[in-house]
Structure 1
């Protein structure tokens, strides 16, 4: 009887289920992006498996460690917007250079936590421009959902319809419902290559980082900005909004340190979660708010399982029909694109600069070997600076926090 009581105290069913749902939502909506990003860097099956292992271990350590340390539901996630950025930014970049960019981004997050200049630095980048940058990076994934319907209508269309219905009836499970519809549709159309699926534990693959200044500027810096603006800012807002007064700097320090240490194995971006964090901070996770940290702890346990089975996850993604991968990636990012565009265009005074940032980023232009994410942000900042010349300071808009929806987890 004592053993049963003890188990229930550390593994209350509601907390375990909340942690499982958080991981399922995060993985199903964005694992395909991680796979695509790794492929963009030229990763083979073993390296993709290592990426999943590094991410799973990093998320397990940060979820469990930070939640136990602060007795608050601190849920971490990989950077889905960051993965989307990498799918285009890593084209023509070697794996060693990509790892160098990951280390660079992780160190920037670490320094932001150790010095406390996170809020001051992000305050210098107008929220509308950060949101426009994110929307520009994600645009092709949103349009990919509909372009997929040209040759995969029987798969993409039912997924989209069920997602819309799910958003109205079961919003927490909308992406999972869409994925289920896609799996059923592709089974009937015979698109799966299940002969490639294998059950195997992941093994780490170390890649020594190479620091190329062009890659650091075009990939590392935008990865840092997108991660901080679209993941860590709303992630902090979710924790604070749930009534947990957790110090921000240590969260940045530890996630940045874990990111930098695990980057040579494929951990491209570790950060605070937003939407999946909300799953673990609500009443559904535990009726006692002081026990809801257990949901985040169990999320960490499930992330570790995902990491250890990284090879299986990679082979499942390889076996997936391409139309299913593209459709679920687009559906998983619809809410983020919507919220990003809304935040980008909300302020009339900065609307022109936000539009310039969005268009330049979405164009995919590369100049001097530097990708469009950097040039889009630079173009937006220059546009905003020119527009503000002669404007009284009282008319300049004050930055507002990003809405919680601007995330991917």
Structure 2
């Protein structure tokens, strides 16, 4: 009975008492959906083929296809409840972007920052003034300055016309003899080794070649920094923001140790088993590498930035950042925004059915927000979902495999413990935390 009450409560607690955190509703109104689609449609109409005439596209359909795919991205984000629509948060980020444009006297079309619930920290420019920033990015950010540099970097991509140039480059590649020969060979190969071979080949061109991608990121860093420094309180925060982009692991606010796990996984009705800490090899299925987000890219493919060390070195070389004394910028407004984004990211794990990562994030948040009712509720929900998935033999749809090469020790230790738990053990754990 208590389980039913809990599950009902999660759907309605957005209307509950003010002292408990209330996550932003995932249900988009008809008006909100129309406003989003109208904005994207208007931008697509303005981004006519005439804008690409000087770039000498041989196949004009490439622009039409891109604009069609961009519309599909937003349709899919609405369908998957990925868009984070919250007037206060959107206004906060949009004002930062507007300030960059105004302070630098930039002549750019009207812009719009869309926020996404995707839990991989990232930001992207989709051309003609459309930007998407994942709210999980803000869990790792420590100042307005860091957000400003990220927005400056994405704005620089637009002003440098990197999207347009990439479309032309891909157009040229697809018309090259080498591409046609490789495509023909790959198609033959795919008949024997599966469709994965051809997808891998096409992906190489879709994500562009690494050399050019690195060049574009460095250019965006350089121009973006020139915008950023007109507003920055502390220029070294450009480097701090770049550091936050170099992670394919789940977000880690706090490093969890074995004793944290012993405490959490030990309950009155079930003692912690030291054998649960035993590590073993990776499985064939790896959720973190196979999961595609609403943009249609897998998590690793989004890491198009050059090596972080190189970017940091170049930023230091072009300015006196390293000589600056750091200043404190943690104002109340920023801290309130960050805390909200942390809790919304926790809820995003639930919305996106990332139950393993969600529980891992919950354990960290219990250290940051002890006895927080919202965190306690989410903990029970993640455990209930994991128990149900184990019982239904769908567990690996919602939990990463252990990957020693790309995960922190804290995370793969957590995954190993989860993997060791049987259906009955997960049920006991779930029952205890739901009822207490």
Please indicate the TM-score interval, normalised by the length of the shorter structure: under 0.3
Name the one with the larger helix percent: 1
Q: Structure 2 length normalisation: TM-score? A: 0.25
Q: Structure 1 length normalisation: TM-score? A: 0.26
Asked which structure has the greater RCO (Cα within 8 Å, sep 6+), the reply is 1
Q: Which has the larger radius of gyration?
A: 2
